[in-house]
Amino acid sequence: MNVSASQAQGRVPVTILSIQGDLDGSNYQDLIAKAQELYQAGTRRLILDMTDLRFMSSSGIVALHSIALLMRGDQPPDPAQGWAAFHAVARDSAELQQHVKLLNPQPRVDRALEVAGLKTFFEIHTDLATAVASF
């Protein structure tokens, strides 16, 4: 997995975090760490660009949930909790996120989002300009 960050200016500043490759148990904590770094640097609005994300496992679902919690100022579950961290997603997925939005998930990733119930948790866009303007 490769991750890169860029900035966009809409009504407010927005950080775009582009994810390439596969998001799974071998690297999901790296994605969370990058989001923590961005949050500490002042990022409060984040677009996760999934255009080049080919695969996302259940660990990726935990990473997305953790990032959403971080961006709204909450403490994410400890990934060492295993399934407890994954089940936290279900308990928290009723409220649409205001600080994190998803861009262009590919069919395989979109299906994982649907199965995990995250398509109602995250606003999903297919166009970067629209995603930036949505904040």
Map out the domains of the chain with their CATH numbers: 2-133 (3.30.750.24)
Consecutive 10-residue averages of pLDDT for the chain (135 residues)? 97 97 96 96 97 95 92 79 56 74 97 90 96 97
Q: Which two tokens stand for residue 58?
A: 């259940």
Report yes or no on whether pTM surpasses 0.85.
yes
Q: Which two tokens stand for residue 36?
A: 């923590």
pLDDT for the residue numbered 81: 64
d(CA 2, CA 67): 17
Q: What is the CA radius of gyration of the chain?
A: 13
20 three-class SS: strand
What is Dmax (Cα atoms) for the chain? 38
Give φ, ψ of 133 to 5 degrees. -70, -15
pLDDT for the residue numbered 116: 86
pLDDT for the residue numbered 50: 98
